[in-house]
Every structure is written in C-alpha cells, then in structure tokens.
Structure 1
C-alpha cells in the first residue's frame, strides 16, 4: 500500500492556526480510536480515504520523529506491525484492492 499526500499549506487555512498541543491531542485520539477499531481494515481505510494506519506512521517519520518505520508503526498499532497484521488483518478481496487503487488515484497531486 502506498499513500501520497498533498502537504501544501494553504494560506489562511484555519488548520495552520491550530495550536500544536490541540492538534497532537486530536491525533492521539484518532490513533487510539483506530487501535480500538481493529475491524476497520487498512485496505478499507485506503479504499475510502486513501490513507491507513501505516500511512500515519510514515507521516510521523516524514515529520521528523526520531523513529524508524517499524517503531513508528508500532506507535500507531500499539504493538509490532507484524503482530497486528497476524491478529487482525484479513485477506484483501479483489473489490477492496480495486477500490483502494481508485482511491489512491485521488491522492496524486494535480498539476
């Protein structure tokens, strides 16, 4: 799975004025919610929104966190990613894979 992102800040975007402490609290709440909702498969998150738990971990690393990819994924999953995958991930169906591919096309930056 891969996720692209549009990271360009828009001038005047209220998100940019949001205090980092509040943004961090909301992010942690999102992660805890995803840890609780193991039934929300990464493939389904990718198909709907174009990002998943692994993307969040990658974004943490991209933001400069002193973690490698495995440690960032463990921070998001609440356990090593391989353990999470073995416990909770189901085999992706062709329909899920197709939906994910279509969703990821929407992530590509437009020029």
Structure 2
C-alpha cells in the first residue's frame, strides 16, 4: 500500500503506514496513524500522520481535511496527556525532517517545557 502520489517519493511514513517498517502505533483509523517518535523531544512525543501524502502542511488546501487532521491530533493528545503542545514544521528551513505532513504532540513535562520553543 503506497499512499504517495505519482511523482512523490516514498517516505519513512508511507513505509510505516504500509507496515514495511516497524513503529509503536498508538492510534490508527482509515485516514490517520499516530506513532511514538523514535527521537523524542519531550517525555511524550507522538506524531500524527495522514495516510494521504502531502509533503508539508501548507499543501493541504481543503478546510475539512485540515480540520480533521487537527481534530485527530487533539483526540490523540487527550488520550495521552491532560496538557500538551501541537507543533508542525513546514519545510527544511522550518525544521521538517520527513517530507510528509505530520503533527507533533509534545507532552508529559512535570511543570511545562523550559521554553515556548522547546
């Protein structure tokens, strides 16, 4: 199962969705998968990944699709922590490492992160 659009490269995330690579899956439905980040930046660090591939968040132009992504991220976050941060990096210059839209869920600090950019 390759959800990459024609002409787009297969990514780490498309391989996880296809079960070609192992991942610690914490949530899945027909449109999204959420996994634990392998290099966590917080005590709880999850990634919510759309199964439909777009390279970066600003390529999602449908309001319903954008809303569903954020609602899914909130649903997953609330299952794992009472307080959390949602974060998206757009493009290499914005810190995005995998060219496949995804939302980071960061949580689990005892008294919050050290800064608002952590």
TM-score normalized with structure 1 length:
0.33
The structure where helix makes up a greater share of residues is: 1
Does 1 or 2 have the higher relative contact order (CA < 8 Å, sep 6+)? 1
TM-score normalized with structure 2 length:
0.32
Larger radius of gyration: 1
